[in-house]
Amino acid sequence: MAPDFSRQHGLDKLLAPASIAIVGASDNPDKIGGRPIHYMRRHGYTGTLYPINPQRTQVQGERTWPNLDALPAAPDLAIVAVAGEQAVQAVNRCAELGVAAAIVISAGFSETGAEGRAQQDAMTARARAAGMRIVGPNSQGLANFGNGAIACFSTMFLEIEPADGPVAVISQSGGMSAMVYGLLRQRGLGVRHVHATGNEADVTVADLACAVLRDPEVRIVLLYLESLQDVGALAHAAALARERGVPLVAVKSGRSEAGARAAASHTGAMASEDRVVDAYFEHHGILRARDPHELVRIAELALRSPLPQGPRVVVVSNSGASCVLASDAAIEHGLQIAPLADPTQRELVNRLPGYATTTNPIDITAALLSNNGLFGQVLPVIADDPAADMFLIDIPVAGRGYDVGTFAADTAAFAQASTKPVVVVAWQDNVAAAFRAQGVAVYADEQQATRAMAALHRLHQWQARNAGHRHALAHRDSSTSTQTNPESTTTDAFGSLHSRSSFLSESQSLALLSRYGLTVADHTCCTDADAAVAAWRAIDAPVALKACSARLPHKSEHGLVTLGLNDECTLRDAFDRQAKTLAALGIDDATWIVARMQDGLHECALGMRHDPVFGPVIMIGSGGKYVEAMQDVALLLPPFSAEDVIEKLQGLRIGTLLAGVRGDPPADIAAFARQAVQLGDCALAANGKLASIDINPVLVRAQGQGAIALDALIELTTTPDPENP
């Protein structure tokens, strides 16, 4: 995941070009080749425009050039707005002439099938060889309202007037870049960057995210993604965002199978398992929004408020019913409603009528009608109450007799003086408009408001996490990574792997995990019955006998596991039975494991899958026979800390059991968490050589008594056989 800085080559000229050629320039501002010229003239682009049109001497009042070769100098940027073969020729000529970057608006490439993809690949290869960057093809273009470089043909900038501001929007889909822009502007938020990457032959959303994060005016970056393939570059963008304290918020659509199918036919997006996407975003501190509507709601709060430093919400409303609704919504989204401190309540009693409610939520009642200054009088009283990490003001009823302007002004004055978020729910459009005009974040309902508040609280928690143990992790990561230290002994563990199938046997699997510090069950490997009996005698306690072969990964399904053996006769019987079963299956490479029977409190599981996009993904959760059916698991991307594991466990049902219920002692969660961390280290060190690891059960004992892997199955990554693909 080391950042590839060369990927930023040329992007400065893409976002701030000193000169722009428009191939296919039109005099008609409503044509694709005309609209960027119209926009750039309108929004004060101060660089040089080179409209290219062999038929006209000027378009929209600008002098034209007959072709690229006629230009006095190679422009920083070329907008290619001609179709088909003409577009390919123009891009190729740009590359030859030394143009820094081209935005290819033209469609008909990889989105149409194999032939289009081949054409796109060839065009991209020629550009790359010449050092020219390509946006698109099939891109709506890029727009930078900071300098008027609007290389984009969206109609949306005509529908809703642009205003420069702190937001950057970057989208694979052109439609969504425009719609997010539109939703932001409807909320009165200024937008600087509106970029669409289309087919992403070269420049990706992640590349542009890195680029806009170098613009110091950008205070939030919003992404719309239908696929996640460029995860290294996106991780780099996330690191830049964290460094600058800029929220990076993303929609990754195609969450469902049906949605992913639709995304595949829209942008050819490759499907990723959605919970892995969640784990990836969380790992990198990228907030995930459910859809573009929520993306914009989160942006409004992030821009208009500081981050909430805790989960406690104080609700203030002129309606008792709204107090109830807002409390329900806050709790639903994981926030808290805590009682106000006694002195605060006493002061509220002084300021509010007797029938008002002075706990939390605070119902100031229709008394607001006779005293329009009540919001202004109440808010300062609760400003510093320990129950208040943020404030939610809910105004459903505000008709005749209500001075909404005063409410808004009082609230805005309070919000500006406060270090805590202030959020308004306004049921009526005129009320929303009054508050928004004062720069206060406004939502149409309690669900929308509290979801946004919860998202920003999560961001605060992640920032706090970064300030803490993540630093230690980053350090540890670099010291154990096999990429940076190819001759470490840990690498040898994988270099020497060999197996007749794509699986390791249980004994090989346990041995490998043991080398990574995981505690595995005390066991002896044997190849005959006498050795098995000797092993049992040495253990001197009930044992399990398990026949292991890399060719039989699911041995229990074949009756090759016998438990609780504690006398020679039964042990020999079991051995014979298993040997017969193996013979019948044609397995000749089996060894036997004799393992001490173990007691513990709970059966957990650990797992790893090597995802083709995200790399190793670690699974923690409930174990036992029904691990898949119970779906009580969480995912983490390594490296992570034991604290991360414990936090995830707390969200699972097994977490409740591990804490100790029904008279059980608390379990050794710390030991299980350490095993998970070690598994993560093992997976990173394997560097793609392991396809999957299943450790089930991991027996977790009482606090202080450890956790122990009883069974394990490791699958190796198979390189496709070139003879027999």
Residues 584-643 contacting a copy of itself, CB under 8 A:
625-626, 628-631
Of 97-105, 234-242, 288-296, 713-721, the segment contacting a copy of itself by CB under 8 A is: 288-296
- The stretch near a copy of itself (CB under 8 A) out of 42-50, 263-271, 666-674, 680-688 is 263-271
Stretch that binds a copy of itself, among 322-330, 508-516, 525-533, 558-566 (CB under 8 A): 322-330
CB of 458 to a copy of itself, least distance (A): 19
- Count of residues of this chain found to bind a copy of itself when the rule CB under 8 A is applied: 81
Q: At closest approach, how far in Å is the CB of 276 from a copy of itself?
A: 16
d(CA 286, CA 276): 13
Q: How far is the CB of 181 from a copy of itself (least distance, A)?
A: 11
- Compute the least distance from the CB of residue 145 to a copy of itself, in Å: 18
d(CA 506, CA 545): 12
**Smaller CB distance to a copy of itself: residue 155 or 724?**
155
Residue 324 touching a copy of itself (CB under 8 A): yes
Q: Rounded CA gap, 216 and 509, in Å?
A: 50
Q: Is 702 in the site for a copy of itself (CB under 8 A)?
A: no
| Distance from C-alpha of 136 to C-alpha of 204, rounded to nearest angstrom | 9
Kindly state the smallest distance separating residue 174's Cβ from a copy of itself, in Å. Answer: 9
Tokens of residue 466, six digits: 């970064």
Q: Is 553 in the site for a copy of itself (CB under 8 A)?
A: no
Counting contacts by CB under 8 A, is residue 332 touching a copy of itself?
A: yes
Q: Decide if residue 428 touches a copy of itself (CB under 8 A).
A: yes
CB neighbourhood size of 216 (10 A): 8
Near a copy of itself in 223-242, by CB under 8 A:
224, 226
Say how far apart CA 579 and CA 582 lie, in whole Å. Answer: 5
CA distance 673 to 679: 10
Check binding of 247 to a copy of itself (CB under 8 A): no
Spatial separation of the C-alpha atoms in residues 15 and 109, rounded to whole Å: 24
DSSP 552-574: -TTGGGGT-EEEEE-SHHHHHHH
**Residue whose entry in the numeric block shows the structure tokens 């044992």:** 543
**At 643, phi and psi to the nearest 5?**
-65, -40
Among 78, 189, 329, 409, binds a copy of itself (CB under 8 A): 329
- Decide: is 270 part of the binding site for a copy of itself (CB under 8 A): no
Q: Is 667 helix (H, G, I), strand (E, B) or coil?
A: strand
Q: Which of 63, 214, 537, 653 binds a copy of itself (CB under 8 A)?
A: 653
The pair of three-digit structure tokens given for residue 710, joined into one six-digit string: 């009883």
Short-list 179, 198, 193, 196, CA closest to 137: 198
Question: Between residues 326 and 526, which has the closer beta carbon with respect to a copy of itself?
Answer: 326
| Span from 10-18, 352-360, 470-478, 511-519 in contact with a copy of itself (CB under 8 A) | 352-360
Window contacting a copy of itself (CB under 8 A); options: 13-21, 328-336, 582-590, 592-600: 328-336
* Least gap, CB of 1 to a copy of itself (angstroms): 27
In the bound complex, what is the minimum distance in angstroms from residue 159's beta carbon to a copy of itself? 4
Does residue 293 touch a copy of itself according to CB under 8 A? yes
The secondary element (H helix, E strand) that includes residue 441 is strand 441-443
> What does the CA dihedral 617, 621, 624, 626 come to, rounded to 10 degrees?
-80
Pairing of strands 615-622, 707-709: unpaired
Cα(413)–Cα(394) distance, rounded to whole angstroms? 17
Q: Which of residues 501-530 bind a copy of itself (CB under 8 A)?
A: none
As measured in angstroms, the least distance from the Cβ of 21 to a copy of itself is 25
- Looking at the Cβ atoms of 109 and 640, the one nearer to a copy of itself is 109
Type of residue at 501: S
In this structure, what DSSP letter does residue 622 have? E
- Binders of a copy of itself among 82-111, rule CB under 8 A? 107-108, 111
Token readout for 165 is: 């501001």
Residues 394-423 that bind a copy of itself (CB under 8 A): 396-397, 399-401
Looking up tokens 């026949």 gives 547
- Grouping H, G, I as helix, E, B as strand and the rest as coil, residue 658 is helix
Per rule CB under 8 A, is residue 123 in the interface with a copy of itself? no
Q: How far apart are CA 184 and CA 270, in angstroms?
A: 29
Shortest Å distance, C-beta 578 to a copy of itself: 19
List binders of a copy of itself among 442-471 (CB under 8 A): 444-447
Stretch that binds a copy of itself, among 70-78, 151-159, 491-499, 608-616 (CB under 8 A): 151-159
Decide: 246 and 218 in contact? Cβ < 8 Å: yes
Q: Say if CB 269 and CB 305 are below 8 A apart.
A: no
Site for a copy of itself in 30-69 (CB under 8 A): 30
- Interaction with a copy of itself in 362-381: which residues (CB under 8 A)? 363
Six token digits for residue 6 = 């060369």
Question: Applying CB under 8 A, which of residues 85, 257, 492, 522 lies at the interface with a copy of itself?
Answer: 257
155 binds a copy of itself (CB under 8 A): yes
Partner residues linked to 547 by β-bridges = 592
164 or 328: whose CB is closer to a copy of itself?
Answer: 328
Report whether 515 contacts 493 (CB < 8 A). Answer: yes
Sheet with 48-52: strands ordered across: 48-52, 19-23, 77-80, 101-104, 133-135
One residue of 166, 285, 292, 638 binding a copy of itself per CB under 8 A: 292
Minimum distance between the CB of residue 664 and a copy of itself, rounded to whole angstroms? 9
Q: Is the CB of 602 or the CB of 674 nearer to a copy of itself?
A: 602
Within 185-224, the residues that bind a copy of itself by CB under 8 A are 224
> CB of residue 330 vs a copy of itself: minimum separation in angstroms?
7
Is 662 an interacting residue with respect to a copy of itself (CB under 8 A)?
yes
20: helix, strand or coil: strand
Which residues 6+ apart lie within 8 Å of 211 measured at CB?
8, 11, 12, 14, 15
Residue 650 CA to residue 636 CA, distance in Å, equals 14
Peptide bond into 697 cis (omega under 30): yes
For a copy of itself, the binding residue among 3, 188, 232, 259 (CB under 8 A) is 259
Please give the Cα distance from 529 to 568 (Å, whole number): 10
| Residue nearer to a copy of itself on the CB measure, 129 or 629 | 629
Asked whether position 706 contacts a copy of itself by CB under 8 A, the answer is: no
In the complex, the smallest distance separating the C-beta of residue 286 from a copy of itself, rounded to whole angstroms, is 18
Cβ-based neighbours of 609, under 8 Å, separated by 6 or more: 616, 617, 619, 691, 692
Q: Does 328 bind a copy of itself (CB under 8 A)?
A: yes
Stretch that binds a copy of itself, among 17-25, 316-324, 579-587, 689-697 (CB under 8 A): 316-324
- DSSP, residue by residue, 586-617: T--S-EEEEEE----SEEEEEEEEEETTTEEE
Footprint of a copy of itself on residues 163-182 (CB under 8 A)? 173, 175-176, 178-179, 182
**438 Cβ contact partners less than 8 Å away, ≥ 6 residues apart:** 408, 409, 411, 412
Q: Identify the residue among 342, 487, 557, 721 touching a copy of itself (CB under 8 A).
A: 557
**CB of 51: closest distance to a copy of itself in angstroms?**
21
Please report how close the Cβ of residue 401 comes to a copy of itself at its closest, in angstroms: 7
